[in-house]
């Protein structure tokens, strides 16, 4: 489980860089009306990450809760894929951001591969939460949970402030 948490922390560092450098500094997405839907997707995904960062270092999700966690992980994948499609509809990604997203996708898959054995084990236990502690890693994940929660709230507020913007029409390619 410790390797899964280290991979999750690495995902947090890459996500923080992606958000601070590309979304905030370089592209200033919160100020762009066309980014309203993208910001909503980011906010939803950030809230899932806040829950993951804030709990996985402290708690084992046992029994039915393990399956709830699995649903959250799948929801994150669906939101990420929706975000990819939204980005392609509304803006041209800088090459570095495209590479960053690819690396984060690979890292997330690796995290899931290391988390899956623990998740299967937790699913066989009686339903409830069990306290765990991974020392400094637990606390690092708590700091990341606070950061991603604040980022999600910022994205949500920015998206709500934006007026509805017509989505660009992307014609279907002919076969």
pLDDT digits (tens, 9 = 90+) for 81-112: 999 999 888 888 889 999 999 999 999 999 99
Residue 59: its H or E element: strand 59-62
| Residue 32 domain flag | yes
Q: How many angstroms separate the most distant Cα atoms in the chain?
A: 56
Question: Coil, strand, or helix at residue 129?
Answer: strand
Say if 31 falls within a structural domain.
yes
Angle at 137 (CA atoms; ends 132, 141), nearest 5 degrees = 90
CA 116/CA 100 separation, integer angstroms:
24
Residue 141, domain extent = 2-161
The interaxial angle of helices 136-161 and 36-56, nearest 10 deg, is 160
Q: Is residue 168 part of a domain?
A: no
**Across the chain, how many H-helices and E-strands are there?**
5, 2
pLDDT reading at 164 higher than 70: no
Give 159's Cβ-side CA count (13 Å radius): 16
Q: Which pLDDT belongs to residue 29?
A: 85
Q: At what angle do helices 95-123 and 2-17 cross, to 10 degrees?
A: 150
Q: Looking at per-residue confidence, does 162 or 42 come out higher?
A: 42
Is it the case that residue 145 has pLDDT exceeding 70?
A: yes
Cα–Cα dist 86/92, whole Å: 11
Q: Does residue 173 surpass a pLDDT of 50? A: no
* pLDDT-derived band at 162, boundaries 50, 70, 90: confident
Calculated CA dihedral for residues 133, 137, 138, 141, nearest 10 degrees: -160
Is residue 34 included in any domain, yes or no?
A: yes
pLDDT of residue 168: 54
* Domain count across the chain: 1
Whether 166 maps to a domain, the answer reads no
173 within some domain: no
- Is 167 inside any structural domain? no
Task: Judge whether 136 lies within some domain.
Answer: yes
Mean pLDDT of the region 161-173: 58
Q: What is the pLDDT of residues 60-79, one digit of tens each?
A: 999 999 999 999 999 999 99
Q: What is the rounded CA–CA span in Å between residue 83 and residue 44?
A: 11
Q: Are 58 and 65 in contact (CB under 8 A)?
A: no
Band of residue 166 on the pLDDT scale cut at 50, 70, 90 = low
Each residue's pLDDT tens digit, 1-46: 999 999 999 999 999 999 999 989 988 888 888 888 899 999 999 9
Mean predicted lDDT score pLDDT of the chain: 91
Flag whether pLDDT at 171 surpasses 80: no
């Amino acid at each position: 489980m410790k390797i899964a948490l280290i991979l999750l922390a690495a995902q947090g560092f890459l996500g923080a860089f992606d958000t601070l450098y590309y979304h905030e500094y370089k592209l200033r997405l919160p100020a762009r009306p066309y980014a309203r839907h993208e910001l909503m997707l980011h906010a939803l995904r950030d809230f899932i990450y806040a829950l993951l960062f804030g709990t996985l270092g402290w708690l084992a999700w046992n029994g039915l809760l393990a399956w709830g966690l699995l649903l959250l992980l799948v929801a994150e994948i669906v939101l990420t894929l929706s975000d990819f499609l939204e980005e392609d509809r509304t803006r041209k990604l800088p090459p570095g951001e495209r590479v960053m997203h690819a690396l984060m996708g690979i890292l997330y898959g690796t995290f899931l591969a290391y988390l899956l054995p623990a998740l299967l084990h937790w699913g066989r236990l009686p339903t409830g939460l069990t306290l765990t502690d991974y020392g400094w890693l637990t606390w690092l994940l708590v700091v990341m949970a606070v950061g991603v929660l604040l980022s999600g709230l910022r994205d949500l507020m920015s998206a709500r402030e934006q007026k509805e913007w017509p989505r660009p029409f992307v014609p279907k390619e002919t076969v």
